[in-house]
Structure 1
Amino acid sequence: MLVSRQSPDISIGVDQKSGELGAGDQGMMFGYACDETPELMPAAITYARVLRDALYAYAGAHPARFGVDIKTQVSVDYGSRENFDAGKVSHVAKVVAAIPHAQSESIEKVREEIEKVLRETMQEKKIPFDADKTEFFIDGTGRYVNHSPLADSGLTGRKVVCDTYGGYAPIGGGSQSSKDYTKVDRSGLYAARWIARHLVAAGVAKKALVELAYVIGHAKPLHVTVDTFGTATTSLSDAALGEKIAAQFPLTPRWITERFGLDKPEKGRFLYADIAGRGQVGYPDYPWEKSDALAWFEGLR
């Protein structure tokens, strides 16, 4: 293993004499929230994660037959544009799953067995699906014996879209799990999600997208942008919401680090290895998923 030092050209801007941390990179980070699920996350990515975890547990219980390089994808049907705008899911339309299997397993048996697990999980977790119409696509090529980085090229790590909102919102920045918390790719994402989540939890909007823009060597974001997609319940404009949030919260790397304890990961709060496996946002036990400033945000209504 080769571990090298970060360029001193970067630390000039990060380690400041005032004690503040400058942003470790430039970039635009996005936070998104909606009221489709109790987690204030889009339904499709939430359902996909539930099914992923079920398959992971199933593979762990049958290690001689299944591997854990598992991928799931869910398409939901809202039924109408009005339902989409209101965040009301009709049912799961399609489920895509990939799970490695032993060479001795027939694809027919794998597909039958895994579809049964998926159906039972959706029924148990009360994920809306149509027993007759929901389509399942499992191990699409008909063979998934060779897997993981040894079998595929072009892999750079976990897909950022899986770590965040499942394509419902812009991604911004780079892969969080390869960055420390001085990099706003990670800390800025957490802060943006925290803000967006509060806007929805406080009833200020049904959907909220928050953008934080940073430049390397500067602590505060260049701007805070809010888009409520016309779902706001307040008389304040989206621009005014952004201005008030920017005035209330410093949103510097040090403030974000201290707010969420990013320099003190521990079991029972959060571990970076756990986050790398589960996803960066959308889990209630993460510090940036707490509604700990709800009263202030409720004052925006």
Structure 2
Amino acid sequence: MCCSNTRITLKWKEFIKIRARQSRAIDRVSKQLSLEERAHWIRIYKYPCLNSISHCAASLILLHIDLQISASSFARRYNMDTFLFTSESVNEGHPDKLCDQVSDAILDACLEQDPESKVACETCTKTNMVMVFGEITTKAKVDYEKIVRDTCRGIGFISPDVGLDADNCKVLVNIEQQSPDIAQGVHGHLTKKPEEIGAGDQGHMFGYATDETPELMPLTHVLATKLGAKLTEVRKNKTCAWLRPDGKTQVTVEYRNDGGAMVPIRVHTVLISTQHDETVTNDQIAADLTEHVIKPVIPDQYLDDKTIFHLNPSGRFVIGGPHGDAGLTGRKIIIDTYGGWGAHGGGAFSGKDPTKVDRSGAYIVRQAAKSIVASKLARRCIVQVSYAIGVAEPLSVFVDTYKTGTIPDKDILSLIKENFDFRPGMMAINLDLLRGGNFRYQKTAAYGHFGRDDPDFTWETVKNLQPKA
């Protein structure tokens, strides 16, 4: 058991009303703990309260216990229900993620030269071929083929052996202008003021935040994403020279529900499937993944002797990238967001300019949800916003704190409406979403759009939300 110094606060019922002498009450409660656990009591707080029926003085006792035992064992001992939840991620060399990165690289190029570009760029790929297609209206001069080849090369697709040869693959381009019907409805052919710009389409988007990690993101998602990023790091720096670009990760965590808040207890299962060269053995793969990927990423406190590891369980993963599977923009929307937590409206992000509320709407509600949790108004929160095409004002804004709020949800909703402007044109300005270039959007297309410590991820900046006195 390696979950040391795990602090667990036990609230004995909702408000324990003790009519007897406090010393006897403490003795009664302490008998429910083992000698080992009693030895790790830090302090006992006593809060006076009043029994409204008997008018007898009473006390609420909170026991703060610093345990040297496994948190999961403690939870089971006291019949605290736990559950398992799983999130996955994929590397930048996964064919779907390759397509996301190409689409966002093209968006970067357009916005860098023309911030008013209207971009809806899709990418697909299969063996020895990459195709970009969609609708783009821009004053920018964009070399689509060069962007495709540069992006693929940067990922590591430099020969047919690894799944794609960036310099010799076929590149197909089929780009048209944005529909004039959409253009006049959304931005009036560039005659509307920013506050008047309508949503590029209908839809609903969700933002989510939870206090279980410093990033205010779900632990399952954070660990799966960081494992994937670490795989790429040790591939590119040659720590594990046998690695190839494609790969997937998955993490299962045992959780406890603490009144609506999610409390991670331990990592139950780690799964890594990574593309590799012909020479490496399965034993070497397992050893390297354990030493250079898992250990640097997953904190010791979450691992124990019961954690299950599946490392390349299929036994062979040499053929990968577009040679192994077809890829398409927008097929990894759960990986892009919260790993299955919260909710998702269904719209993808990559290749879309800020007038597409699938993207900008999801960014603003992430900022709202994160600000709620960071401001200690709730331990966990989801925010929804919805739009109609051509209409600037959102149709609805919704907040749910899963009963973890310190003030009523309706009051939190009022704070959100006062502090965030959900109109597409204003979101683009307030979050600086019209700025492209310098891989600004391409960076979002691998390893998640949220929970990243990067100044370009402006939607991760929190606002201090405080209720009015």
- 1:116 deviates by 2.6
Greater shift, 249-258 or 10-19, is seen at 10-19
Greater shift, 67-76 or 181-190, is seen at 67-76
Per the alignment, residue 179 of structure 2 pairs with: 7
Per the alignment, residue 139 of structure 1 pairs with: 312
Alignment CA distance shift 1:155-1:96 (3 Å): farther
Per the alignment, residue 252 of structure 1 pairs with: 423
Greater shift, 149-158 or 126-135, is seen at 149-158
Residues in 2 aligned to 1:29 and 1:141: alpha-carbon distance in whole angstroms: 36
Per the alignment, residue 295 of structure 2 pairs with: 120
2:242 to 49, 65, 86: 65
Residues in 2 aligned to 1:300 and 1:284: alpha-carbon distance in whole angstroms: 30
Count of equivalent residues: 290
Give, as a single letter, the amino acid of the residue that structure 2 aligns with 1:28.
Answer: H
Alignment CA distance shift 1:10-1:173 (3 Å): farther
2:269 partner SS: strand
Greater shift, 248-257 or 11-20, is seen at 11-20
Give, as a single letter, the amino acid of the residue that structure 2 aligns with 1:30.
Answer: F
1:81 to 237, 257, 268: 257
1:263 to 411, 418, 434: 434
Residues in 2 aligned to 1:282 and 1:228: alpha-carbon distance in whole angstroms: 19
Per the alignment, residue 49 of structure 1 pairs with: 225
2:279 to 99, 104, 117: 104
Give, as a single letter, the amino acid of the residue that structure 1 aligns with 2:293.
Answer: L
Give, as a single letter, the amino acid of the residue that structure 1 aligns with 2:383.
Answer: V
Q: Which residues of 2 match residues 122-201 of structure 1 at below 5 A?
A: 122=297, 126=299, 128-153=301-326, 155-157=328-330, 159-201=332-374
Aligned partners of 1:24 and 1:184 also within 8 Å: yes
Unaligned runs of 5+ in 2: 1-172
1:25 partner SS: coil
Report the TM-score when normalising by structure 2: 0.58
Q: Which residues of 2 match residues 13-24 of structure 1 at below 5 A?
A: 13-16=185-188, 17-19=191-193, 20-24=196-200
Residues in 1 aligned to 2:322 and 2:308: alpha-carbon distance in whole angstroms: 29
Alignment CA distance shift 1:104-1:117 (3 Å): same
Residues in 2 aligned to 1:127 and 1:12: alpha-carbon distance in whole angstroms: 56
Per the alignment, residue 459 of structure 2 pairs with: 288
2:396 to 223, 235, 258: 223
1:70 partner SS: strand
Task: Give the percent of matched residue pairs that are identical in Structure 1 and Structure 2.
Answer: 37
- Cα deviation 1:121-144 (Å, max 9, x = unaligned): 146xx3533242111112231111
Per the alignment, residue 299 of structure 1 pairs with: 467
Give, as a single letter, the amino acid of the residue that structure 2 aligns with 1:298.
Answer: Q
Residues in 2 aligned to 1:69 and 1:218: alpha-carbon distance in whole angstroms: 41
Residues in 1 aligned to 2:210 and 2:218: alpha-carbon distance in whole angstroms: 6
Aligned partners of 1:204 and 1:300 also within 8 Å: no
Alignment CA distance shift 1:59-1:99 (3 Å): same
Give, as a single letter, the amino acid of the residue that structure 2 aligns with 1:99.
Answer: T
- 1:51 deviates by 1.5
Greater shift, 163-172 or 109-118, is seen at 109-118
Residues in 2 aligned to 1:253 and 1:91: alpha-carbon distance in whole angstroms: 41
Aligned partners of 1:92 and 1:128 also within 8 Å: no
Which has more strand, going by share of residues? 2
Aligned partners of 2:228 and 2:447 also within 8 Å: no
Aligned partners of 1:122 and 1:128 also within 8 Å: no
1:100 partner SS: strand
1:211 to 367, 384, 409: 384
- Cα deviation 1:249-269 (Å, max 9, x = unaligned): 3311111100111111355xx
Alignment CA distance shift 1:166-1:243 (3 Å): same
Aligned partners of 1:47 and 1:127 also within 8 Å: no
Give, as a single letter, the amino acid of the residue that structure 1 aligns with 2:357.
Answer: V
